[in-house]
Amino acid sequence: PVCSLRYISTFRSFVKHEAEKNKAQWKTMGPAKVAVPSPKNFLQKHSKEPKLPARKKDQDSKKLPALSVPRRTDHPVMGIQSKKNFINTNAVAAITELPKKPQPIYVDRRQGDKYLLESSGLVPKYIKKKDYGVTPKYVTRRNEEVKRAQEKYEANILENLKKRAMKRLSDEERMSLLQGLKKNWEEVYGEFQRLPVEIDTIPKKLNKEKLETQMKQLEHDIEVIEKHKVIYIADE
């Protein structure tokens, strides 16, 4: 088979000419002629670290702060004199002054620490107050509001009694009704206790649910009657 021609770059002659022109340019005779740095320009410590700008001195730093004491160069005001005898005045004041009463204290043990007696709770100072045992104003105001609300409610009930001819249950009727409800609850509860342990049929489940519903209703009625002392019944 005929071999194809070898690839020859078009820049072959140019590259060859450049190589011959600069042949062995790194070879020299003697030491290289390179600029040597001066020994005076040696590298100093921290010379390559960034430097902060120079600090500007505050103009107000030259001003001295205001002093509360007189300066050394200040002179006292002359010509002011006093004939008061401070020694005798202080002595008379100390003699005529009433002695200070010591604060009452207590100690927790024989050689224990001292504590103020007034703030300890051992002194019955609260029962000596003028308003001790007096009903607070907010309690009195609340009782009055409750009383007015009760009176308003009773007035509305009386008005409804006239309109609907409602009847108020007496205390005896209310107690008998309450006792009857409790008796019914005991009967239903006794029947509930006589249920079998294993509820495996639908009639048994329905009976149990019925008894539970009756007990909850009776408990609700008993709670309502015990909570409300006054009960009205509308005549049908």
**Residue 207, in any domain of the structure:** yes
- The residue range of the domain holding 115 is 103-165
**Residue 225, in any domain of the structure:** yes
CB contact at 8 A, 169 and 177: yes
Same domain, 131 and 187: no
**Residue 57, in any domain of the structure:** no
**Residue 70, in any domain of the structure:** no
Q: Which residues, in sequence order, are CB contacts of 184 under 8 Å at separation 6+?
A: 218
Q: Phi and psi dihedrals of 143, rounded to 5?
A: -65, -40
Same domain, 153 and 180: no
Q: What confidence score (pLDDT) does residue 215 get?
A: 92
Same domain, 142 and 194: no
- Select from 126, 143, 165 the last residue of a domain: 165
Q: How many residues does the chain have?
A: 236
Instruction: Identify the CA nearest to 94 among candidates 103, 86, 83, 84.
Output: 86
pLDDT in tens, 5-54: 888 999 999 988 887 776 665 666 666 667 778 888 888 898 889 888 88
**Residue 135, in any domain of the structure:** yes
Q: Which residues, in sequence order, are CB contacts of 122 under 8 Å at separation 6+?
A: 106
DSSP letter at 30 equals: S
Same domain, 184 and 228: yes
Same domain, 160 and 178: no
Same domain, 147 and 191: no
Same domain, 118 and 156: yes
Q: Which residues, in sequence order, are CB contacts of 76 under 8 Å at separation 6+?
A: 70
Model pTM score: 0.33
Angle at 35 (CA atoms; ends 30, 40), nearest 5 degrees: 125
Per the structure, how many domains does the chain have?
2
Same domain, 123 and 150: yes
b or e along 30-54 (b: 16 or more beta carbons within 10 Å of the residue's beta carbon)?
eeeeeeeeeeeeeeeeeeeeeeeee
CB contact at 8 A, 219 and 185: yes
Same domain, 115 and 126: yes
How far from 9 is each of 4, 6, 12, 13, 15, CA to CA, in Å?
15, 10, 5, 9, 10
**Residue 55, in any domain of the structure:** no
- Select from 165, 181, 204 the last residue of a domain: 165
CB contact at 8 A, 233 and 167: yes
Q: Which residues, in sequence order, are CB contacts of 123 under 8 Å at separation 6+?
A: 104, 117
Same domain, 174 and 224: yes
Tell me what percent of the residues of the chain surpass a pLDDT of 70.
87
| Spatial separation of the C-alpha atoms in residues 26 and 11, rounded to whole Å | 24
pLDDT in tens, 115-148: 888 888 888 877 778 888 888 899 999 999 999 9
Mean local confidence (pLDDT), 49-75? 74
**Residue 150, in any domain of the structure:** yes
**Residue 157, in any domain of the structure:** yes
- Select from 165, 195, 218 the last residue of a domain: 165
Same domain, 194 and 153: no
pLDDT in tens, 160-188: 777 666 677 788 888 888 999 999 999 99
Mean local confidence (pLDDT), 215-226? 90
Structure tokens at 87: 């020694």
Same domain, 112 and 150: yes
